[in-house]
A and B are shown apart, each in its own frame.
Chain A
Amino acid sequence: MSLRRLAPDEMQPQSFAFNAQNEARVAREIAKYPAGRQASAVIAMLWIGQEQEGWVTKPMIEAIAARLSMPFIRVLEVASFYTMFNLIPVGEHLVQVCTTTPCWLRGSDDVVAACKKHIAEKPGEISPDGKFSWMEVECLGACVNAPMLQIGKDFYEDLDGPKTEALLEAVRSGETPKPGPQNGRRSSEPMGGPVALKEVQ
């Protein structure tokens, strides 16, 4: 994990506003909390804002702070604390590669190498076509299907180098490959059918 700061001014957009659909979601989030406690909605609002823009911008932080009557710095504290908030622009598809121990033992280095080859040499960089950026993340809780990566909101599991390359190329060409294990097994069942309790049908 590295220093998390706001992106430089030249990257920042001029303004931010929730679109109509997200505005309704935001209103629902704020309404969840009692009067005077609206600030509790800050994480939800940052998340909705990030879904809309792809990353958390300075105008977004200021708009959310004004909406929740919070000082700017309080919202920045939250945004910089949680690594799920991207403080720099990301590609159209954000690829998050798990490199924590189980995935690493199962070959996440190959997955990372595929990302380096097909997206960008460094994590955080946007691919030349603007379609992708990738980053290493800590455990995403899919260790039974290690190694894995997340694209957008979907988990792609049981990967290796070539499978990752194929997956990225498919996404690049506009397809949405089926999420889940990429080696043919169903969820986390054993490969090639049951190996225990075979008599139980």
Chain B
Amino acid sequence: MARKLIIDGQEIEADDNITLLQACEQAGAEVPRFCYHERLSVAGNCRMCLVEWVGAPKLQASCSLQVKDIFPNKDGTPARINTNSPIVKKGREGVMEFLLINHPLDCPICDQGGECDLQDEAMGYGRAAFDRFRENKRAVDNKYMGPLIKTVMTRCIQCTRCVRFATEVAGVPELGATGRGEDVEITTYLEKAFASELSGNVVDLCPVGALTSRPYAFNARPWELRKTESIDVMDAQGCNIRVDTRGREVMRVLPRTNDDVNEEWISDKTRHARDGLLRQRLDKPYVKKGGKFVAVSWPEAFAAIAARVAATTPEKMAAIAGDLCAAEEIKALKDLMTALGVANIDCRQDGAKLAAAPRAGYLFNSTIPGIDAADAILLIGTNPRWEAPVLNARIRKAWLNGNPRIANVGVAHDLTYPVEQLGERADVLEAIASGSHPFAQVLKDAKRPMLILGPGAIARADGAAVLKLAAKIAAETGMIGPAGTAEEGGWNGFNVLSTAASRVAALDLGFVPDAGGRDVAGILDGASKGEIEFVYLLGADEIDTKKLGSAFVIYQGTHGDAGAHRADVILPGAAYTEKSGLYANFEGRVQLAERAAFPPGEAKEDWAILRALSEVLGKRLPYDNVDAVRHAIVAAAPHFATRDAAPRHPGADPAIWNAVGTEGAVGAAPLASPITDFYLTNPIARASETMAECSRLFVSGAAKLAAE
């Protein structure tokens, strides 16, 4: 149902189920607000969104007045709403006056200054020359909320956005408002750290400077920063981020709104691993001489590589692509290795038994918005809370809104929503696939069932067999529905949750062993036996470098992490903020990250390093600029031409689903997520002091941090 409203003289048709505030926005009116947030429940306690309903005795808080409650005038004409009449201005000025009674005048030393809702609205509704409150302002003790959130609670206006976020979105109800009246204080229970992977988002939500980013405290002013749109690589969700830089330094990372990917949340790792971009960086090419790294020029480093390439044969060479690579360098490395005749290439550092075809066999086919429509979810060997925290919040949202049945096969974790634990081992999947398990019927009865296959299920020796079982379950329980998106009535419930940002792009580009080639385990095995003499690591740090044996190792990457320590030649590359790159997230959604800063020292963009190396090796790659690389990518994988859209489900085709996984026996080991520490999953995060502190506090729990 919709009804007519006249908002600021303009007649609009507003849906019954929205609030008056949303209707006003649809009519183009700007309504100030502090407590209202479109992704949180309505609290209606700041009273800033007052509007006039002509005929009503008082101003109305538009955020908590639903359109269906607005009745037309007696003569049948639509209700008239004014958002900018003198009485509205006066009412909002009154509210602002109350808010400012106790708000300190410390904007010059407040980190929120310049991007503060209260500051902005005070420009419109503050009555500075009319101060009638001579009493002392209230003072509130600052609260400890962990290493990421700095609190100055005197500035708090009790909007309770943070409390609602913690309770509703993060699912970690640790924040609350204690006391009453003037003594209301926002706090965690006994001032424990706010233990959520999404805790940093409360800083964005806070409309004033009460909750600010602790690592970023007093670092920069918003107007000094250059803002660049980018894509996160800390997990494979491809969260849309904005990278704020000053000079060459990345000062902070903030989320960008994209309802199809991350709504407006990002994880703490995405937000706060940024200090890892400054530490442990590789800024010069190095060659190991006599057991020590010696800084050399680029041509010398290339010459050292060329000498080794000349001294070996293609079957004794191998290349491994890491988790943070953009599509450009994966394509360049793949082309270089193809030109050299090397078949031993792999992008699956964790050993996931995913094949490069069919494409639907390694994607999150339901798409992220599709989760909202799911009514039965089977998690297999995954801990989404650590593997993709924002995705986990999305599943929680689906659970809050629609109450889908959620079950888990694998090691159980606290995922912030109730999960039926079906068992830890893969034999449960056999029972579900054969229909003998009761949950098989739940999936069959569901309109939109889905399964999420995590790395704990496929990154193991019997991964291909587990993958096959999952594909069988998908086929048996009707997860593979008609073509198209969920909105169009299509459905595909088969989902693989990758954790490496580079994974989908690398599989799209076929960065897997060619016929007869070795995979990561085979390469390491060969290297330790001396059968592989030359290994090219493109940012690959998550492998057991001890197994590289006596092989000649080239590490091209950004950080002095595991790979660089073992390397014989180090080629300094660019981190994700320092290059323009394409990333395909686990849905297969291709997104472009812009360059926000330049790489340090002599480091270069990775595809350009490979292009330069190819020339020295006599196998010149046919591209001279990044556009040419992208043309080559699109030629190899045409879907890279379409950006910012998840691939469309093509419909149930047995030929596709029969090709997913291979038949085999499954082992008895529990399906356990390989991530043991959320905060330290990649070289950038491992170089970050902030992440190390979070890890100590939330994961190992060893250090007790004193409250400030």
Chain A residues at the B interface, C-beta cutoff of 8 Å: 1-6, 58, 71-74, 76-77, 80-81, 83
Q: Which range contains the number of B residues in contact with the other chain?
A: 10 to 19
Give Cα A76 to B179, complex, Å. Answer: 9
Q: Which residues of A contact B173 (CB under 8 A)?
A: 71, 73-74
Contacts of A80 in B (CB 8 A): 178-180
Report the separation of the CA atoms of residues A80 and B189 in the bound assembly, to the nearest whole angstrom: 12
A5:B178 contact, CB within 8 angstroms: yes
Q: Are A81 and B189 closer than 8 Å at their CB atoms? A: no
Closest partner residue, chain A, to B175 (CB atom): A73
Contacts of B235 in A (CB 8 A): none
Residue in B176, B185, B187, B188 whose CB lies within 8 Å of A74: B176
Q: Is the CB of B183 within 8 A of A71?
A: no
Sample (6) of A-B pairs whose CB atoms are under 8 Å apart: A3-B185, A73-B176, A74-B176, A77-B177, A77-B178, A81-B180
Q: With A71-B173, A74-B173, A77-B178 known to touch, is A3 a contact of B189 (CB < 8 Å)?
A: no
Q: Does B174 contact A (CB under 8 A)?
A: yes
User: For residue B701, which residues in chain A have a CB less than 8 angstroms away from its CB?
Assistant: none
Contact with A along B252-270 (1 / 0, CB 8 A): 0000000000000000000
B41 to chain A, nearest CB (A): 15
What are the residues of chain A within 8 A of B178 when measuring CB–CB? 4-5, 73, 76-77, 80-81
**Is the CB–CB distance between B183 and A77 below 8 Å?**
no
Q: Is B190 an interface residue (CB 8 A)?
A: yes
A72 touches B189 (CB 8 A): yes
B residues 129-182 near A (Cβ < 8 Å) are 173-181
- The answer on a CB contact under 8 Å between B188 and A73 is yes
* CB-based contact B181/A77 at 8 Å: no
In whole Å, how far is B429's beta carbon from the nearest beta carbon of chain A?
Answer: 31
Would A1 and B181 count as touching, CB distance under 8 A? Answer: yes
Q: Which residues of B contact A1 (CB under 8 A)?
A: 180-181, 183
Closest to B140 in A: A3
A10 to chain B, nearest CB (A): 14
Interchain residue pairs A-B with the least CB separation, the first 10: A73-B176, A71-B173, A80-B178, A73-B189, A72-B189, A77-B176, A81-B180, A80-B179, A4-B179, A3-B183
| A180 → B minimal CB distance (Å) | 32
In the complex the two chains form, what is the Cα distance from A134 to B453 in whole Å?
A: 63
Contacts of B179 on A, CB cut-off 8 Å?
Answer: 3-5, 80-81
Q: How far is the CB of B45 from chain A (nearest CB, A)?
A: 14
Chain B positions 180-238 with a Cβ under 8 Å from a chain A Cβ: 180-181, 183, 185, 187-190
**Contact residues, B591-616 vs A (CB, 8 A):** none
Closest chain A CB from B144 CB (angstroms)? 14
Docked pose: A80 CA to B190 CA in angstroms: 13
Interface members, chain B 403-422 (any A CB < 8 Å) = none
Partner of A71, one of B180, B185, B189: B189
Q: What's the Cα separation between A58 and B175 when bound, in Å?
A: 17
Chain B residues with Cβ under 8 A from A5's Cβ? 178-179
When the two chains form their complex, are residues B183 and A4 in contact, meaning their CB atoms are under 8 A apart? yes
Cβ contacts under 8 Å, B176 to chain A = 71, 73-74, 76-77
Which of A58, A71, A74 neighbours the largest number of chain B CB atoms within 10 Å of its CB? A71
